[in-house]
Structure 1
Amino acid sequence: MDEKLSGQVVVRRVRRVLAWSAAVLVALTSALLFGVGAASLLASTAKDLSWSALADVGDSFGVLNALFSGLALAAVVVTFWMQFTELRSQRGELEVQRHALVQTQAELRRSAEADVRRLHMDLMKMSIADPKLAAVWPKVTDSEIRNRQYQYVNLILQHTWMRHFGEIDEEELRRTFRYLFLSPIIRDYWAATAEARASALVAGSFEHKMNQVGDEIRAECKQTLGM
């Protein structure tokens, strides 16, 4: 929740408290004036200040006392209700803040993972452009040409990861793999790097799901293409 919205919430709460306080004050003042007025009226209409008249005046203050007690009880009830609604409102605000924090953390994590992928792609591009740098990477095969092809396949798969990362559309990912696996070199690369990928996968991650889909589509290709 931003600072402007928090300020608006505080202002609404202050206004609510002031409104209830003003209502209680008006009610108490009205009751007091009513009681004093009633007592004064009884005293002024009495022919003499006999004990009976004074008793009537006292009774009027007794009624006033009962009225004050009722108002005090009502004020307590209103106070508890305001506290309850305030706590409920705070819970709602905390839940909104927690949800926003979770979303922010998830976005930061996705952004960091995407940055790492971009760096990996840059490293692959450098190794493809310079055979001396390519020699630094572990070789998948003894063929220099095939290793350079595999590096390019790695770039293609990283690009696929970048395209589908985040909100995964599994059917679209399957269509992408069916297209990629039309290439025998990509299929060979997928098979040659299966063990290395499996050792780095984290269950439940996007990479894990992507690897599962790739394995399924490659198995389909072996059946349909006979390879």
Structure 2
Amino acid sequence: MATRKSRVRALGPVAAAGLGMVAGAFAALTVQRSTLDALRLRLEHLERSVSTPPHANLAHQQRLHWELLSKAIDSPELAEVLDIFEVPASPQKRRQYLFANALYTNLLFYYRIGNLTREEFHGRMRGLLQNPVVREYWYATQGQRATLPDGSEEADLGRMVDELLRQLEEADIDEWWVVGEPPGE
């Protein structure tokens, strides 16, 4: 009988740790889902508010992109289809990269429809690049950006972000918000 009670006591901390891990994972998924829902609502609002045909086409394309990314983020099986990164990525890392892609594409869309200036785009990217996962994503997708036509707006913005990232990594100050010269319009 004493042995049985010892096993039960020994399982207590293990069970508590397991329950804590499950609760933490559930909380993280809940936060991620609410973020995804907020972005979806923002996209729906933008679609309703865009009136000119070029912006309507961009809004429609952004919506389709978001729907595809959402499906891939929610499904590891579908995310494997989008695993075109230059380094192998675990399912968790792949989901993070896909979300980083959604954030970058959202900024790119805002810039294209005129909601952000080039300087504002630069500033927002400087903030995003403070996250190590976003930096990893940027490096893991450099081959994809290399295929963009040289004169394209997206290729130009990509080179700007490449330069900003290089400057951030070379900076030996803690004040990241002053690193990198904002681009001219």
Q: Which runs of 5 or more residues in structure 1 are unaligned?
A: 1-106
Identical amino acids, percent of aligned pairs: 28
Q: Number of residue pairs matched?
A: 119
- Which residue pairs with 1:120 in the alignment? 65
Matched, 1:193 2:138: no
Residues 108-145 of structure 1 show CA distances to partners (whole Å, capped at 9, x for unaligned) of: 34432332222111100111112222222234224221
Residues 144, 190 of structure 1: CA spacing in aligned structure 2 closer, same or farther, 3 A cutoff?
same
Give matches, 1:25-36, under 5 Å: none
Match of 1:169 among 117, 135, 143: 117
Residues 1:130 and 2:75 aligned together = yes
Where 2:130 maps in the other structure, the secondary structure is coil
Give the Cα–Cα distance (whole angstroms) in 2 for the partners of residues 187 and 179 of structure 1. 11
Give the match's secondary structure for 1:182.
coil
Please say if residues 83 and 94 of structure 2, whose CA atoms lie closer than 8 Å, have aligned partners that are also in contact: no
Matches within 5 A, 1:48-127: 107-127=52-72
CA distance in 1, matches of 2:99, 2:172: 23
Q: Does 1:219 align with 2:166?
A: yes
1:202 to 139, 149, 163: 149
**What TM-score comes out, normalization by structure 2 length?**
0.57
Aligned-partner Cα distance in 1 for 2:141–2:89: 14
Aligned to 2:81, what secondary structure does the other structure show? coil
Aligned to 1:150: 97
Preserved CA contact (<8 Å) 2:145 2:155: no
Structure label with greater radius of gyration: 1
**TM-score scaled to structure 1, two decimals?**
0.47
CA distance in 2, matches of 1:192, 1:206: 20
Larger proportion of helix: 1
In the alignment, the residues of structure 1 paired with residue 132 and residue 123 of structure 2 have an alpha-carbon distance, to the nearest angstrom, of: 17
**Can you list the C-alpha shifts for 1:200-225, whole angstroms capped at 9, x where unaligned?**
x2344331232122112111111126
Summarize deviations over 1:163-182 as a string: whole Å, max 9, x none.
21133512111111110000
